[in-house]
């Protein structure tokens, strides 16, 4: 799962958790109050309404809210994990989160906003790699780990993101494409700015061709007939 996290995510998550918790506690109290208002041992009378109906409704609502509270608490835990990760990486802008709880796996997203982070990682790994190689030359029996493969992988990622950033900055935008952007019909993806996601469609993006006109992207194409018609209508407006 790639989780979208903004500067206000933790505040919003904590606020939601408190609201759900308060609602759950209120529902539990309402159930108790309803139950106390019924004489002890009072049975239901045949032909009349269920005197425990409201009590049961409040307890069911409390149970549902308790489940929501658990999910909301897990999100707060996950966001705490993300914040702790980012505190140790000041130059990291965008994170990739896999999981919904405090045990979520957190890492750096492949984003142009993280270029400085990746460059710093390469510099640190290069220094550690040089040190390890020097050590290994004089210690035949105790080898240190080298990082050549990781460095190569990161350099490829940096080259990919730099190319994408340059392409996004230098590609012309036609008047029609600019109108679609200004109207909010499409939104540029800040992490990978060559893609413009179509409003109202899930994971459907456009890219600009050499003339600055939008075309369906190969990576995020419209799959359903409805999405294809919507994209075609946008492009030929």
**221 phi/psi in degrees, rounded to 5:** -80, 160
**pLDDT tens digits along 202-213:** 999 999 999 999
Mean pLDDT rounded to a whole number for the chain: 91
Q: Is 42 helix (H, G, I), strand (E, B) or coil?
A: coil
Number of Cβ within 10 Å of residue 25's Cβ equals 13
Measured between its terminal Cα atoms, the distance across the chain in Å is 35
Q: What is the pTM of this model?
A: 0.74
Structure token digits, residue 193: 């700015």
Contact at 8 Å (CB) between 100 and 78? yes
**Per-residue model confidence (pLDDT) at position 218:** 95
Residues above pLDDT 70, as percent of the chain: 94
Q: What is residue 1's predicted lDDT score, i.e. its pLDDT?
A: 45
The closest alpha carbon to 30, from 51, 64, 61, belongs to 61
- Domain definitions of the chain by residue range: 9-90, 116-169, 175-235
Average confidence (pLDDT) over 193-200: 96
Rg (CA), the chain: 28
Q: Provide, for the chain, the percentages of residues in helix, strand and coil under a 3-state DSSP scheme, each rounded to the nearest 5.
A: 55, 10, 35
């Amino acid at each position: 799962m790639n989780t979208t996290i903004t500067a206000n995510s933790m505040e919003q998550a904590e606020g939601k958790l408190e609201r759900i918790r308060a609602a759950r506690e209120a529902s539990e109290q309402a159930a108790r109050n309803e139950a106390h208002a019924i004489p002890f041992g009072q049975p239901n009378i045949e032909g009349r309404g269920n005197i425990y109906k409201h009590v049961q409704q409040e307890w069911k609502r409390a149970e549902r809210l308790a489940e929501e509270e658990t999910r909301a608490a897990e999100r707060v835990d996950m966001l705490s994990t993300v914040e702790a990760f980012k505190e140790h990486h000041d130059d990291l802008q965008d994170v990739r989160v896999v999981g919904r709880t405090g045990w979520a796996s957190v890492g750096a997203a492949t984003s142009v906003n993280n270029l400085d982070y990746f460059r710093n990682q390469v510099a640190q790994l290069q220094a550690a790699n040089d040190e390890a190689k020097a050590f290994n030359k004089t210690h035949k029996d105790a080898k240190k780990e080298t990082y050549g493969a990781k460095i190569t992988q990161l350099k490829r990622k940096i080259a990919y993101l730099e190319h994408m950033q340059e392409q996004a900055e230098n590609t012309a935008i036609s008047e029609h494409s600019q109108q679609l952007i200004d109207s909010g019909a499409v939104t540029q993806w800040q992490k990978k700015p060559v893609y413009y996601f179509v409003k109202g469609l899930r994971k459907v993006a456009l890219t600009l061709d050499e003339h600055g006109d939008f075309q369906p992207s190969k990576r995020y194409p419209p799959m359903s007939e409805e999405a294809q018609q919507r994209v075609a209508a946008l492009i030929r407006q």
